[in-house]
Amino acid sequence: MSREEILEVFLYYDKKGDGKIDVGLVGSCLRSLGLSPTEEDVSTFIKQWKEKDARITVEEFLPIFKAVQSHPTPTPDDFMELLANFDREGNGTIQITDLRYVLVNSGEKLTEEEADILLQGQESGDGKVNIAEFCFPRLIMVCNVLQKQRNRKNDRRITN
């Protein structure tokens, strides 16, 4: 991605027209540039700006962009591999309790309510979920839930 493309997106978030963006918008700006930083990643990168109303320049933003860009983005295969670690019988299934644990306690954690939505109707009679059947049709849903969660966190950070 060229510097000009980054600058164009950065300036979209510059609501005051002074060549700076609110530090609370760094995560949104990064995501608009096609990156997938976690909230923890964003917090780590912006912790040097202690004031909640701090603003950063594109020159301060670029190293953050490059650092996040250098981190690999998880893929659907990564998620399936993670779940396969809980496949005790090696038959492509996972206990629904283990799946709930992963969703609520790993990475960008889901709330119990979000996990309930994702798991609704997935359990077979034996308390197991087929990993492939769960992952592929639900992957877009998982991404949407995570994006909503990130947006809520960003909204709270901006208004606080």
Going along the chain from its start, the domains and CATH numbers come out as 3-71 (1.10.238.10), 76-148 (1.10.238.10)
Beta strands in the chain (DSSP E): 20-22, 55-57, 93-95, 128-130
Instruction: Read off the pLDDT band of 29 (50, 70, 90).
Output: very high
**99 within 8 A of 83, measured Cβ to Cβ:** yes
Half-sphere exposure in the Cβ direction for 2 (13 Å, CA) = 3
Instruction: Read off the pLDDT band of 13 (50, 70, 90).
Output: very high
Residue 91 has pLDDT above 80, yes or no: yes
Strand partners, 20: 57
Q: Provide mean pLDDT across the span 72-93.
A: 82
Strand partners, 93: 130
Structure confidence at residue 62 (pLDDT): 95
Residue 157 has pLDDT above 70, yes or no: no
Higher pLDDT, 139 or 60: 60
